[in-house]
Chain A
Amino acid sequence: MAVDLTSNLAGIVSPNPFWLASAPPTNTYGQVARAFDCGWGGAVWKTIGQPIVNVYSRYGGIDLGTQRLIGLNNIELITDRPIEDNLKEMKLVKKRYPKHALIASLMVESKREVWHEIVKRTHGETGCDGFELNFGCPHGMSERGMGAAVGQVPEYCQQIVEWVKEVSTIPVITKLTPNVADMTYPARAAKRGGTDAVSAINTINSLVGVDLDLMAPRPNVAGKGSHGGYCGPAVKPIALNFVSSMAADPELQGLPISGIGGISTWKDAAEFIALGCANVQVCTAVMHYGFRIVEDMCDGLANWMEQKGYQKLTDFQGRAVPSIQKWENLDLNHFIRAHIDEATCIGCELCFIACEDGAHQALALAPKNGKRLVEVKEDMCVGCNLCSLVCPVPGCITMRKVENGAPSVSWKQHCAGAGALAPRPQHYNTVEE
């Protein structure tokens, strides 16, 4: 069975759902051409606007153990290249790669004529397939009233989308900032303004660390620093949550989403698509490993889809959305309990101390025939998962369903007087009188 990875975001078709996000990898013709040769399906050009000047020293990273760059922070601004150069190179890309998606990312000051001017000029001079409005940058540009300064105020979002839609003849994607409490508000505003799609997330306001010798933040510029935008694998859960909140929002139904944030592998991408995204965009993973990573993104996704019997992306797009619910709808009588496989346990006792000090005191040290083992106190386990999350042995601790015979009941139902709670474990009383 052949799997078709073709994606369609608001009418913008690309050979696969993997686009480069607007960022340094899409600075130049050479980069984007190389990326398309490696197999990327589309690219959002590095944001163009009034030329800016950048500082030297722009990025800071977070490592975890030997894994470098699980998070990346930047204090870079939009493109620092002349607009003519950007437009000329975008045109060349579109000419050489007519089947790939080429999106122009825009950010200019909040004036109707300025937006009209850049929209008309960019489309006219490049033949790009769509626009992405950068309402996201949380640093630098926002101090000048652009980027996140727009994205955080729904009225401004709506206003600028309206201006763009007044003159744009191609699809418009509004890129939203995660530096808000609830993304559905700016998304709804963008929708009211007529946006054809939204993309999320841009970078998260952050300060990645402090150099304790210099007493200055990282990255530092001549001993001083500024808050920056955070991205990379560490931000994926935050991005997934924003994306799912939009996918599940009744007012936003039918508004296509381009998922961004911490995507490094085909699995990450599949999760975004399962939460409703029509395609995904990638920045940090490419900055870390290069364009070549797209090969496994396509191959892995296709192999998985084939195994699952999905022939096209829309076969599973949004499939996980209905299962994301309010807490009040979760079944309070669904009991699970930790089970430790004695045969594969290596005796590190990390589960024990995690549960003992950090959770519910439901594990006991129980060596057997000289082998270090841990036992589950069945009447104490609340099925929180912590032990299985800290266990270093794959499959050793599993969470198993406990049949308590109690019919399912949610908090909402329970409060409405419909259904009884099954009896639950009590914490041991450890207070010494």
Chain B
Amino acid sequence: MSIRIASADRQLSAADVAHNFAELHPALTEAEALAESARCLYCYDAPCTQACPTHIDVPSFIKKIHNDNLKGAARVILDANPLGHSCARACPVQVLCEGACVMLQQEHRAVAIGRLQRHATDAVLAQGWKLFSAGAPTGKKVAVVGAGPAGLACAQELRRAGHAVVVFDARKQPGGLTTFAIAQYKIRPDTALAEAKTILDLGVELRSGVQVGVDLTFEQLERDFDAVFLGVGLGATQALGIPGEDAAGVVDALTFIEQLKTRPYGTVAAPARVLVIGAGNTAVDAATQARRLGAAHVAFVYRRSEDEAPAYGFELDLAKASGCTFHWLTAPARVLVEGDRVTGLECVRMKLGAPDASGRKGVSPVPKSEHVLPCDLVIKALGQSKRGDLLRQVEKLQLDSAGRVVIDEEGRTSNPRYFAGGDCVNGGKEIVNAAADGKRAAGAISIFLKGT
């Protein structure tokens, strides 16, 4: 795919931007789905199923696609993973199911599990199938804080078990980061919202625009509900801590991505020269999407080398294929600002040293290596902060030193009425981990409620 780039005399039209944001993994045609599903060997005790954090029975759903039982296929997927729509599009399948596929050994090409999963789940939205129904009412009420993947997965399972569920979310719309943060070429907000709706339609009450801890206290929740699930995710992007950071031409990756995902194509532009600070998956998403908005030059600035970059190799490959470049072993020192315009980023070169406590090689600045990288926009992608401030409001809720909620293997916290899962527990993983957590916690909540 060729990315259309803006220039001094050519702004990108909405159509250009739509072209640039074409889906990375488009829907399979019927013929493709038939051929691809035929490639699945239907392994016994399948490695793909083991590799999936929600343990979707992959061979079973692929066999069902092949046998013309699409509805059955979708049910297998969404029964194991309530976020099966999002995961089909956004999961890093290369390191999960597809990375475990035995066909990699046989043909050096895994079965396209993610795209087959999309084939089945798309049909649910297209046909309006109602695959699950609410369980017989138990008379118990559960509050779910956060309508992201963890909260939604928990809500679906709680409803299927017959509990009344109210989901609170600070935002106006559900989905959490699936709606507002996942790269636009992987999933669009309308799909994430449609997925959330399939869950809400089980009779889940959504109270949106309610920030728990501010608009509503945890004590109030405890008063009105029998149990609480915390799926609040992570906080804002961490600060750089360098001069000039507050300038208008410095934006954090999450805000940048949310804007381009929630505003019409053509209304959000990227300037010609963009620097992205960081080399994690979010940095890749920011860089690849800055390119797709038309930026002529997009470069990463990262203090370590490519070997230490936290992004998946296939994500870095995508950045390269999108025309991004890299300043490895380069640390930002100061944002250069003229008036209210960013003109460049002053950096120092770094060198690698002995491994530090985390096992990664330490870095130290190279003396007298200051240099300026000219740019019009700086995107900060240093990772999200933890939610310690919010979560400390909950009594007897144990957090670890990094501010993550401590849970047992079933999602119970140190406070018996609280359960938790997703990014606020694991510090930031994938949708599928959050979904697995939320679903598992719903099981623990049901057990807890039986005893109340």
Q: Interface code A279-291, partner B: CB below 8 Å = 1, 0 otherwise?
A: 0000000000110
Looking across the interface, which residue of chain B has its beta carbon closest to that of A67?
A: B38
Cβ of A315 within 8 Å of any chain B Cβ, yes or no, is: no
A6 to B443: give the CA distance in the assembly, Å. 32
Cβ-defined contact, A296 with B64, below 8 A: yes
Cβ-defined contact, A296 with B72, below 8 A: yes
Looking across the interface, which residue of chain B has its beta carbon closest to that of A346?
A: B31
A392 interface neighbour in B31, B64, B75, Cβ under 8 Å: B31
A234 to B365: give the CA distance in the assembly, Å. 71
Cβ-defined contact, A267 with B64, below 8 A: no
From 64 to 81 in chain B, residues with beta carbon under 8 angstroms from any chain A beta carbon are: 64, 67-69, 71-72, 75
A392 to B35: give the CA distance in the assembly, Å. 10
A292 to B44: give the CA distance in the assembly, Å. 9
- Measured CB to CB, the closest approach of chain A to B29, in angstroms, equals 8
From 33 to 91 in chain B, residues with beta carbon under 8 angstroms from any chain A beta carbon are: 34, 38-39, 42, 44, 60, 63-64, 67-69, 71-72, 75
Q: Which residues of A contact B64 (CB under 8 A)?
A: 296, 299-300
Given contacts A267-B68, A290-B44, A303-B69, contact A296 B31 (CB under 8 A): no
A395 to B31: give the CA distance in the assembly, Å. 9
Cβ of A311 within 8 Å of any chain B Cβ, yes or no, is: no
Given contacts A290-B44, A392-B31, A394-B31, contact A296 B67 (CB under 8 A): yes
Cβ of A324 within 8 Å of any chain B Cβ, yes or no, is: no
Cβ-defined contact, A300 with B72, below 8 A: yes
Cβ of B30 within 8 Å of any chain A Cβ, yes or no, is: yes
A244 to B20: give the CA distance in the assembly, Å. 57
From 302 to 356 in chain B, residues with beta carbon under 8 angstroms from any chain A beta carbon are: none
- Measured CB to CB, the closest approach of chain A to B234, in angstroms, equals 39
Cβ of A265 within 8 Å of any chain B Cβ, yes or no, is: yes
A181 to B75: give the CA distance in the assembly, Å. 45
Central interface residue in A295, A299, A392, by most chain B CB within 10 Å: A299
Looking across the interface, which residue of chain A has its beta carbon closest to that of B31?
A: A394
Looking across the interface, which residue of chain A has its beta carbon closest to that of B35?
A: A392
Cβ of A393 within 8 Å of any chain B Cβ, yes or no, is: yes
Q: Which residues of B contact A67 (CB under 8 A)?
A: 38
Given contacts A295-B60, A393-B31, A394-B30, contact A300 B44 (CB under 8 A): no
Cβ-defined contact, B42 with A299, below 8 A: no
A interface, by DSSP: helix, strand, loop or mixed? helix
Looking across the interface, which residue of chain B has its beta carbon closest to that of A300?
A: B69
Cβ-defined contact, A296 with B34, below 8 A: no
Looking across the interface, which residue of chain B has its beta carbon closest to that of A393?
A: B31
Central interface residue in A67, A267, A296, A392, by most chain B CB within 10 Å: A296
Q: Which residues of A contact B39 (CB under 8 A)?
A: 66
Q: Which residues of A contact B68 (CB under 8 A)?
A: 267, 300
Q: Which residues of A contact B42 (CB under 8 A)?
A: 289
Cβ-defined contact, A265 with B72, below 8 A: no
- Measured CB to CB, the closest approach of chain B to A120, in angstroms, equals 41
Cβ of A242 within 8 Å of any chain B Cβ, yes or no, is: no
A266 to B70: give the CA distance in the assembly, Å. 13
Looking across the interface, which residue of chain A has its beta carbon closest to that of B75?
A: A299
Given contacts A266-B67, A289-B42, A290-B44, contact A299 B72 (CB under 8 A): yes
A261 to B44: give the CA distance in the assembly, Å. 24
From 99 to 157 in chain B, residues with beta carbon under 8 angstroms from any chain A beta carbon are: none
- Measured CB to CB, the closest approach of chain A to B97, in angstroms, equals 19
- Measured CB to CB, the closest approach of chain A to B404, in angstroms, equals 39
Q: Which residues of B contact A290 (CB under 8 A)?
A: 44
A293 to B72: give the CA distance in the assembly, Å. 13
- Measured CB to CB, the closest approach of chain A to B103, in angstroms, equals 10
Looking across the interface, which residue of chain A has its beta carbon closest to that of B64?
A: A296
A296 to B71: give the CA distance in the assembly, Å. 11
- Measured CB to CB, the closest approach of chain A to B131, in angstroms, equals 11
Looking across the interface, which residue of chain B has its beta carbon closest to that of A264?
A: B67
Looking across the interface, which residue of chain A has its beta carbon closest to that of B106?
A: A66
Q: Which residues of A contact B67 (CB under 8 A)?
A: 265-267, 296, 300
Q: Which residues of A contact B71 (CB under 8 A)?
A: 303
- Measured CB to CB, the closest approach of chain A to B72, in angstroms, equals 4
Q: Which residues of A contact B60 (CB under 8 A)?
A: 292, 295-296
Cβ-defined contact, B38 with A394, below 8 A: no
Q: Which residues of B contact A300 (CB under 8 A)?
A: 64, 67-69, 72
Q: Which residues of B contact A392 (CB under 8 A)?
A: 31
- Measured CB to CB, the closest approach of chain A to B101, in angstroms, equals 15
A356 to B42: give the CA distance in the assembly, Å. 39
- Measured CB to CB, the closest approach of chain A to B36, in angstroms, equals 13
A66 to B63: give the CA distance in the assembly, Å. 16
Q: Which residues of B contact A393 (CB under 8 A)?
A: 31
Q: Which residues of B contact A295 (CB under 8 A)?
A: 60
Looking across the interface, which residue of chain B has its beta carbon closest to that of A301?
A: B69
Cβ-defined contact, A296 with B38, below 8 A: no
Q: Which residues of A contact B63 (CB under 8 A)?
A: 293, 296
B34 interface neighbour in A265, A267, A289, A394, Cβ under 8 Å: A394
- Measured CB to CB, the closest approach of chain B to A184, in angstroms, equals 32
Central interface residue in A67, A295, A300, by most chain B CB within 10 Å: A300
A293 to B42: give the CA distance in the assembly, Å. 10
Looking across the interface, which residue of chain B has its beta carbon closest to that of A299?
A: B72
- Measured CB to CB, the closest approach of chain A to B274, in angstroms, equals 40
Q: Which residues of B contact A266 (CB under 8 A)?
A: 67, 69
Q: Which residues of A contact B38 (CB under 8 A)?
A: 66-67
- Measured CB to CB, the closest approach of chain B to A324, in angstroms, equals 23
Cβ-defined contact, B44 with A303, below 8 A: no
A392 to B31: give the CA distance in the assembly, Å. 8
Looking across the interface, which residue of chain A has its beta carbon closest to that of B43?
A: A289
Looking across the interface, which residue of chain A has its beta carbon closest to that of B29?
A: A394
Query: Known pairs A265-B67, A303-B69, A395-B30. 15 more at Cβ < 8 A?
Result: A66-B39, A67-B38, A266-B67, A266-B69, A267-B68, A289-B42, A292-B44, A292-B60, A293-B63, A296-B60, A296-B63, A296-B69, A299-B64, A299-B75, A300-B69
Residue ranges of B at the interface with A (Cβ–Cβ < 8 Å): 30-31, 34, 38-39, 42, 44, 60, 63-64, 67-69, 71-72, 75
25 A-B residue contacts at CB 8 Å?
A: A66-B39, A67-B38, A266-B67, A267-B67, A289-B42, A292-B44, A295-B60, A296-B63, A296-B64, A296-B69, A296-B72, A299-B64, A299-B69, A299-B72, A299-B75, A300-B64, A300-B67, A300-B69, A300-B72, A303-B71, A303-B72, A392-B31, A394-B30, A394-B31, A394-B34
